Structure 1
Amino acid sequence: MKQIYTILFLLLTLTVSAQIPSGYYDSATGSGFTLKTQLHNIINNHNDQGYSAMDGFIANYDLDLYYDAGDSNTILDVYSEDPLAADPYNFTPVANECGEYSSEGDCYNKEHVIPKSVFNDQTPMYSDAHELLPTDGRVNGFRSNYPIGLVNDTQLVSQSGITNPTRNGSKLGNNLNSGYSAGYSGIVFEPIDEFKGDIARIYFYFVTRYEDQVSAWSSYAMFNGTADQALDNTFLSILMTWHNMDPVSQKEIDRNNNIYYNYQNNRNPFVDHPEYVNLIWNTNPDTEAPTEPTNLIAANPTDNTIDLSWTAASDNVSVASYDVYIDNVFSFNTGNTSTTATVTGLTPDTNYCFTLKAVDTTGNTSEFSNQACETTTNMGTVGGGSDLYFSEYIEGSSFNKVIEIANFTGTTITDLSIYTLKLAANGNGTWGTTYTFPSGASIANQDVYVIANGGSTVCETEYDDLNTDITSFNGNDSIGLFKNDVLIDIIGDINDSAEFGKDVTLVRKPEFTEPSTTFDITHWDSFAQNECSNLGSHTQDLSVDDYVFNTVKMYPNPTNGNTVTIISQENLTVEVYNILGKKVKAQTITSSQNKLNISGLSRGVYLVKLNSATSTTTKKLIKQ
């Protein structure tokens, strides 16, 4: 989950400082459905502004002030916001309002969280700001009028013109008919975890605000035809679980205040008082905690990930999800009942210890599971590259303009959504045109990705994508490669209008293996315009040390066993030293004999010296 930027938060508290009006909930004194009716009486008869007035509300109050500092003048869309990385695309208020759309990212429109067909487009439901959110037009159409639920990932729905899951991870498919979502197997739409609680609280608001009408809308799968409970048992379980799993956010608090003070003069009680949900719909509160998960195992380490598996916990009602702790600090909630998870974003060659807690549908948590530890690998990268970088630039005749990007990170980059290209014209110091990679685009390790102008005619078989905007450069225009909207590599000087690349082909020299935010023409070989014989591949110069030791893998580490596996590109002489510097073991490692025998070593910390024919490196080993 992205952090809220402190500066923006302070600004926000200045502009939206109002809180719950004094005495607003004084008459909400009951429990169960009595409390629900009391809340209905408080929030009923709001000041309906009409459907078209929502355009102005969205442009002013539904902005992304919470996740990306650079997106504060863009629409916060729950169907495109990525809380963990750069958003796949952004919408400018008013300018990007739909309009026609055919693909995801074209424009935004107003989503009825409770589909308008449920209440036959009648007001005031149709124009109620609490249930209207700005969302991507194509994803809104994809969701259609399906219920909200927990999607079975093996039964996704295919639909032309859009990926499933969508670019931020929202899904459409058959409901997972088990656990807390048991009881329904039809098609449902599932938002990402970050906004599940938001959606749940909108539903609780809706069936409370329209308590006197909801019983007539029983044809909608989520409603049960009653005025009191209103929600079908399966969907009540889903929404209550999401409400407990995803607490009220600052975004919801601010939106609730803006709707009340600046728009229609009523509030969502379940944002103000989250405890009302259990007081109303859980009349016999579940206070029994789940049993703790058991047999937690950490395995399959890579440089940045570790896989976890465990035996499921049990509960008197239902386990909803699991909280994952790293080194005794809460890290994330799994969001489902799966007994496996992959922990990402870890540091190479680092030992991590994991524990779990089970969470039930009412938020009760178990005791900790057993602890499982594992160490990430340090395989490094073939060629030593830390990230993607520009490898070739063609500024040829007419429309022959091409950019090539190389991957020598040691692994396939399967998700290019966090990368963008930007163009700065004539050394004016400002980034303008932005290019995002097509959905599903990837770059294999030691391969390249080629983007060409739509009118380019040189080496056409090497093109991976055509984009006229980003390839509209001339010889004095800078091109930047960005990761999570942070510049990592550049061609040209953004502040200099001098012509560095007019009518020329530039190929990155093989000895330069890293991206750089400072352009140096001496790092490039120059060829004639339209010269594309190098296009479609790239070469790096590898030192022996880079090649051998950046690919050495030693595991498990720490270990409580008697052998350690060492995988290397070359034969190695291995020497093991204790912390006093005494050599306690020596062995040769080959591809056929890659087990280091440590049965004679006591518990403790050791230094493992790895010697190839030309170089030496040392790694730490812990025997438990």
Structure 2
Amino acid sequence: MKKNFTTLLLLLVSICFAQIPNGYYNSATGTGYILKTQLHNIIKNHNDRGYSGLYVTYTTSDKDFYYENDGTMLDMYTENPTGAECEFTYGINQDDGTLGNAECERYNREHLIPQSVFGSGVTPMYSDAHFVVPSDKYVNAQRGDLPFSRVNAVTNTYSNGSKKGNNLNSGYSNGYNGTVFEPINEFKGDIARMLLYFATRYEDQVANWNFAMFNNTSNQVFTNQAINVLLTWSNDDPVSQREIDRNNAIYARQNNRNPYIDHPEYAMQIWGSLLNTDQYLLDPTVTISPNPSNDGRFTITTSSFAIDAISVLNVNGQVIQYFKNPAVFDNQYEVSNLSKGFYFITIDSNNQRITKKVIVN
């Protein structure tokens, strides 16, 4: 799992900025949904390379030079960053209409927003590599048209730990009753940014499409529950070198980019105000004080439970402080050295989370 340290995030962001074409985002000057529309106008009208062309794109965008480093297909549903996995070589075991009744038999193309949402074969979304990814055929079929979220009662687990089952209807995933699919932590941010891309690239059509994660609007696009999941995953799993390389490879083919890889802070600038802190509550007695603070220092007080991690995010969604197993004294934790501004403080405990908004005057 990628570590959520500030230095790593800043390094990745600096690498990312260095590869963005000059002037590409010059017109992205707004905030909120205005910014999303500006991004839509930048990335729309991309070159459609066709459905068969996806397999060509994948030979530059989705080879494994990051884990096994052997050039095999990189599939987020079966890639095991720390252990054995099934491996596919492009051109071998490609889906031919046979097999796929178990993992590691065939690979094909997975629409992270299912085809059934926008219509099978409808272009250009049918063949848009920014959200159509190479996948093990069996796991692709197992995921089907399920939304992404956190699994509570597991019904199926796949070789790398991806799973499906009933949604964990609490914490940041509260607000949905139904079966969901959950990728491993290594790829949660990747998938979140691909879905945010889809909402932006197709904002002029998405209001007409029905999906468990959508609210049938062209501005917010996602339900509040889905926003909580996607922003949490995007913030917890920062942009990786693999995503940067993939973005550049697809740009070379399609002539458009995923803005949320180039500028991960855009996600919070557009949707950050929708984080529903009421759905995150672990314990109503959790307090952060003083709020606002005059000296950049906050004290977090809990009634009894231990905190596993504390993250401080700026208004752009960047993690600027991260404390794993923070020091505690008399059920109190401290965050300090914050300059003037507006922040989110997230508190993790036993797989649940609180998000609080704080201000330093």
TM-score (norm: length of structure 1): 0.44
1:90 corresponding residue in structure 2 = 87
Give the distance between the partners of 1:195 and 1:293, measured in 2 at CA. 31
- Alpha-carbon deviation of 1:291? 3.0
Distance 2:190 2:48 in 1: 22
Displacement after TM superposition at 1:135 (Å): 1.0
- Please give the secondary structure, in 1, of the residue aligned with 2:180: strand
Given that 2:309 and 2:324 are in contact with CA atoms closer than 8 Å, whether structure 1 keeps it comes out as no
- Report the RMSD for the aligned CA atoms in angstroms: 3.2
**Residue 291 (structure 1) aligns with:** 300
1:419-446 CA deviation, whole Å, 9 max, x = no partner?
xxxxxxxxxxxxxxxxxxxxxxxxxxxx
CA–CA separation in structure 1 for the residues paired with 2:17 and 2:111: 28
* Paired position in structure 1 for 2:109: 110
Q: List aligned pairs for 1:127-206, cutoff 5 A.
A: 127-152=127-152, 155-157=153-155, 164-206=156-198
**Structure (1 or 2) with the larger CA radius of gyration:** 1
AA in 2 matched with 1:114: I
Among 197, 214, 233, which residue is 2:224 paired with?
233
1:18–1:29 Cα change, 3 Å = closer
> What's the secondary structure of 1:172's corresponding residue?
strand
1:339 aligns with 2:350: yes
Which amino acid in the other structure matches residue 231 of structure 1?
F
The 5 A counterparts of 1:178-327 are 178-217=170-209, 219-261=210-252, 263-283=253-273, 291=300, 310=306, 324-325=324-325
Match of 1:80 in 2: 78
**Sequence identity percentage:** 51
Confirm or deny: 8 A CA contact 1:18 1:257 kept in the other structure: no
Give the Å deviation of 1:229: 0.3
CA distance in 1, matches of 2:170, 2:176: 9
Q: 1:23 and 1:226 mapped to 2: Cα distance?
A: 30
User: Secondary structure, in 3 states, of the residue corresponding to 1:174?
Assistant: strand
The letter for the 2-side match of 1:116 is: Q
The 8 Å contact of residues 59 and 90 in structure 2, kept in 1 or not, is answered as yes
Question: What SS is found at the alignment partner of 2:186?
Answer: helix
CA distance in 1, matches of 2:17, 2:304: 48
How many residue pairs were aligned? 296
Q: Does the aligned pair in 2 maintain the 1:78–1:195 contact within 8 Å?
A: yes
Distance 1:202 1:290 in 2: 36
Secondary structure in 1 aligned to 2:52? Answer: helix
**CA apart distance, 1:283:** 3.8
**Between structures 1 and 2, the one with greater helix share:** 2
CA contact (8 A) 1:290 1:359 kept: no
Query: Do the aligned residues in 1 keep the contact of 2:63 with 2:73 (CA within 8 Å)?
Result: yes
* Distance across 1 between alignment mates of 2:357 and 2:190: 16
Instruction: Give the unaligned 5+ runs of structure 1.
Output: 4-15, 158-163, 297-309, 316-321, 328-334, 341-357, 365-624
Aligned counterpart, 1:481:
none
Task: Label 1:187 to 1:20 Cα distance change in 2 as closer, same or farther (>3 A).
Answer: same
Checking the alignment, whether the CA contact within 8 Å between 1:292 and 1:313 is kept in structure 2 is no
Taking CA–CA contacts closer than 8 Å with sequence separation of 6 or more, which of the two structures ends up with the larger relative contact order? 2
Residue by residue over 1:317-364, the C-alpha shift from the partner in whole angstroms, topping out at 9 and shown as x without a partner, is xxxxx963599xxxxxxx996528xxxxxxxxxxxxxxxxx9755899
Q: Deviations for 1:398-438, whole angstroms, at most 9, x for unmatched residues? A: xxxxxxxxxxxxxxxxxxxxxxxxxxxxxxxxxxxxxxxxx
Indicate if the aligned counterparts of 2:104 and 2:136 stay in contact, CA closer than 8 A.
yes
**Cα–Cα, structure 1 residues 174 and 97, in superposed 2: closer, same or farther, change >3 Å?**
same
Relative to 1, partners in 2 of residues 1:66 and 1:293: Cα closer, same or farther, differing over 3 Å?
Answer: farther
> What CA distance in whole angstroms lies between the structure 1 residues aligned with 2:52 and 2:193?
24
How far apart, in 2, do the equivalents of 1:107 and 1:292 lie? 52
Map 1:272-421; keep pairs closer than 5 Å.
Answer: 272-283=262-273, 291=300, 310=306, 324-325=324-325, 339=350, 360-361=354-355
Instruction: Report the equivalent of 2:332.
Output: none
Q: Does 1:66 align with 2:66?
A: yes
Is the 1:244–1:363 contact (alpha carbons within 8 Å) kept by the matching residues of 2? no
Task: Give, in angstroms, the shift of residue 60 of structure 1.
Answer: 3.2
Distance 1:73 1:312, change over 3 A: closer
Separation (CA, whole Å) in 2 of partners of 1:323 and 1:186: 33
Written as runs of structure 1 = structure 2, the 5 A alignment for 1:496-515 is none
2:307–2:347 CA contact under 8 A, matched in 1: no
Change (3 A) 1:203 1:170: same
Which secondary structure state, in structure 1, belongs to the residue aligned with residue 198 of structure 2?
helix
**Per-residue Cα deviation, 1:184-225 (whole angstroms, up to 9, x for no partner):** 0111100000000001001110010000000001x2110001
CA pair 86-215 structure 1, distance change in 2 beyond 3 A: same
